[in-house]
Chain A
Amino acid sequence: MKSTRREFIKNFGKIIPVVFFGLSFKKFIETVSAKENASTHHPGGDYDWNQHYYAFVVDSTKCIGCGRCVVACKEENDVPKEPFYFRTWVERYVWLNGEEEVKVDSPNGGFNGFPVIYDEKEIRKSYYVPKLCNQCDRPPCVQVCPVGATYKTNDGVVLVDEKYCIGCRYCIQACPYGARYLYPKHGEREPRRNTADKCTWCYHRITKGLKPACVEVCPVGARKFGDLKNPDDEINRILDENRVDVLKPEAGTRPKVFYLGIDGAEVR
């Protein structure tokens, strides 16, 4: 059979849509089955992220404001040492006699401890409140990321992909807790420069069965970390037996950092 060029092109034109639909159907099947896999399938060797779901408890009645957690966090996670870059920090809440307003300060995030600034007699009430990423169950930071560089893992931790982040700062704005910062140009860890950075509950430690660095070094047990899916973990007992608060419940973010001994409405 002899065909003209014209006919050849016409026939070719009929084949292309068939191939195209075939390919997109294949792609569709692949994505659907990947979604199904996500519950059985997991990254990283022996560690199965579907067997864990983590929570964090901060007992502010125990915190002595020594700042060892802030130091350990920066060391463990290559966070720049100067002020304004923190994955975790400690705030001091002070109510003075005869004053309504609470005074909050956090000199260098608590890195060098807290100098005494008020006389004992002037103070009505005062305590320390350690802060870190709340690893929200409904994270606003993840919703606003335009490129899919921040996400929630199956074990409930919000992470940032330093290779994919474009440094647009939307997530930093979206976080009601101020838990994110932009990793500076001069930061020690090169691939992380100019990307959003935040607490990961030391994901590289907890997935090896270790505690986060801040929990590890806390001298008084003011920071507790545990696995909600493990019934023997003390975190379950602590959460069952105590009245706990979360920060800014009105933001609807469902935080997984629970606080003991804070004045709910006033500590935010």
Chain B
Amino acid sequence: MRKIHVRVAMVYIVIAIIFLIVRSFIVPPSFGEYGWYRGDSVSEIMNLSVKHAGSYSCSNCHQTEYKAWTTGKHSTVNCESCHGPLKYHVDDPGGSKVEVNATREFCGLCHNENPSRPEGFPQINLESHGNGFTCVTCHNPHYPWFD
């Protein structure tokens, strides 16, 4: 082997080693743990905070509403569909106040007549039904109809 070959090989190897060292600094340690991505990213996403607590979590404190709700027509409608995400409230009920939207427009989101809705779904004419009173004057939102 001639000297020039050895020198070229040396230069090549040194560059390769520098590359490997730099790479080990740039690539995060968990990269490639499960595949071609940063493995820690999975647990980071798993640890994001939950904001909807689920209807059952309201049962202890709001027994009246909860009991009525389970037997009424709105039992398929999650408490948080109407009241918004309330994990923060379940964790700290004395904290910031829960907004309650009792406008006609709000009930209308689901019940206003709209020909794109499935026919069997109970719909009313938002303009005329109930003579403009808020819906909750006649219907209990937690137990809207009798059976």
Q: Which residues on A are within 8 Å of B, measured CB to CB?
A: 13, 16-17, 20, 23, 31, 34, 38, 41, 43-44, 47, 49, 61-68, 71-72, 75-77, 92, 94, 112-114, 116, 118-120, 123, 126-128, 148-154, 159, 161-164, 200, 203-205, 207-208, 210, 213, 216-221
CB distance from A119 to the nearest CB of B (A): 8
> With A116-B114, A151-B35, A161-B41 known to touch, is A219 a contact of B46 (CB < 8 Å)?
no
Asked if A114 and B114 make an inter-chain contact with CB atoms under 8 angstroms apart, the answer reads: yes
Q: Are B45 and A217 in contact (CB under 8 A)?
A: no
How far does the alpha carbon of A258 sit from the alpha carbon of B14 in the complex, in Å? 55
Choose among B44, B52, B108, B114 the residue that contacts A213 (Cβ–Cβ < 8 A): B52
A20–B77 touching, CB < 8 Å: no
Whether the Cβ atoms of A92 and B116 lie closer than 8 Å is yes
Q: B residues within 8 A CB of A217?
A: 52, 78, 80-81
Indicate if B117 sits at the interface (CB-CB under 8 A). Answer: yes
Q: A34 — which chain B residues lie within 8 A by C-beta? A: 32-34
In the complex with contacts A38-B34, A161-B41, A204-B46, A62-B52 CB distance below 8 A = no
In contact, B46 and A43 (Cβ under 8 angstroms) = yes
Q: Total number of A-B contacts with CB less than 8 angstroms?
A: 153
CB distance from A220 to the nearest CB of B (A): 7
Number of B residues contacting the other chain (C-beta, 8 Å)?
51
Cβ of B121 < 8 Å from any Cβ of A?
yes
Q: Does B133 contact A (CB under 8 A)?
A: no
Complex Cα–Cα for A208 and B112 (A) = 36
A75 with B37: in contact, given A31-B32, A68-B81, A217-B78 (CB under 8 Å)? no
List residues 116-135 of chain B with CB under 8 A from any CB of chain A: 116-118, 121
Q: Are A220 and B76 in contact (CB under 8 A)?
A: yes
Residue of A nearest to B77 (CB): A219
A150: chain B residues within 8 A (beta carbon): 37
Give A71 to B83 CA distance when docked, in angstroms. Answer: 12
Chain A residues contacting B84 (CB-CB under 8 Å) are 71, 75
- Specify which chain A residues have a CB less than 8 angstroms from the CB of B85 in the assembled complex: 72, 75-76, 213
A150-B9 Cα distance, complex, nearest whole Å: 38
Contact A164 B37 (CB under 8 A): yes
Contact call B109/A200, Cβ cutoff below 8 A: no
Q: Are A204 and B16 in contact (CB under 8 A)?
A: no
Is A44 a contact of B46 with CB atoms below 8 Å?
yes
Contact at B116–A128, with CB atoms within 8 Å? yes
**B42, A43: Cβ atoms under 8 Å?**
yes
**Would A75 and B115 be within 8 Å (CB), given that A217-B78, A220-B76 are in contact?**
no
Closest 4 CB pairs of A and B: A161-B41, A151-B37, A204-B48, A126-B116
